[in-house]
Amino acid sequence: MPLSRVLFVSDLHLAGERPDTTGRFRRFVETVVPGASALYILGDLFEAWPGDDALSLPFESEIAALLRAASSHAPLFFMHGNRDFVLGETFARATGATLLADPSTIDLHGRRAVLLHGDTLCTDDREYQAFRAQVRSPAWQAAALARPLAERIALAKGLRAGSQAAKESKTETIMDVNDDAVRRAFAESGCDLMIHGHTHRPARHEHVVGDRRCERWVLPDWYEGGGYLVATPGRLETVALG
């Protein structure tokens, strides 16, 4: 029998102005996802998501169709990122995705793994953490989603531009994960395996938490090529996309 394959991706940042990335995602859905036992998207599938009524727009509808195709091949799970945090149940129903809390713990071939988008680990970036707390609040989201779609699209573009400008004044260290936050996430989850995205620094890291040896996999972004993590029984590896 073929080995069970569980796939993990994040930080695709799909946008209409990036047709090459959309093409890679289409090929991924058509050639990699079939035969998989599950696909986990750990946030920032979109460059920006202004609300589920964006499913009426051509590009967003195209991506929803790709996700429906993916969910017809394998169970599809989605975790919010810092770019698509208002994605909701209407989107989930339209695509066949199951929304996951951040963090979530899963059984991965008999091994407990904790999944995160990854931004909650970047605790040295206090400015971002304050912003995250604001936009994740139900009151802020309700007020934002009450605006017309065109206004929300403009708001999303403004938030993106502000984020890019803020990054230019921050050090790489501040925008990376905090070691104490990583160890705390391991301790609170009770897992010895962590998978996340957000930092755009794909790598495998080892950590010692108490008397446990733990490993942390960081997923690649898709700006310049992309890739995914594939888990089979007893093995994890990152696969680059051309």
Read off the pLDDT of residues 158-169 as tens digits, 9 standing for 90 and up: 877 777 766 676
Would you call 69 exposed, middle or buried from its count of C-beta atoms within 10 A (0-12, 13-18, 19+)? middle
Residue 65 main-chain phi, psi, to 5 deg: -65, -40
Residue 46 has pLDDT above 60, yes or no: yes
Is the omega angle on the peptide bond into residue 103 within 30 degrees of 0, that is, cis?
A: yes
Residue 31 main-chain phi, psi, to 5 deg: -115, -25
Question: What's the pLDDT score for residue 236?
Answer: 98
Residue 1 has pLDDT above 80, yes or no: no
Q: Which domains does the chain have, with CATH numbers?
A: 6-122+179-240 (3.60.21.10)
95 Cβ contact list (under 8 Å, min separation 6): 64, 67, 68, 71, 76, 78
Residue 47 has pLDDT above 70, yes or no: yes
The number of beta carbons lying within 10 Å of the beta carbon of residue 178 is 16
Q: What percent of the chain has pLDDT over 70?
A: 96
Residue 60 has pLDDT above 80, yes or no: yes
Instruction: For residue range 103-143, list pLDDT tens digits in order.
Output: 999 999 999 999 999 999 999 999 999 999 999 999 999 99
74-90 average pLDDT score: 96
81-91 average pLDDT score: 95
The pair of three-digit structure tokens given for residue 165, joined into one six-digit string: 């400008």
Instruction: For residue range 160-210, list pLDDT tens digits in order.
Output: 777 776 667 678 778 899 999 999 999 999 999 999 999 999 999 999 999
Is the torsion defined by CA of 179, 185, 191, 197 positive or negative? negative
The pair of three-digit structure tokens given for residue 191, joined into one six-digit string: 């897992």
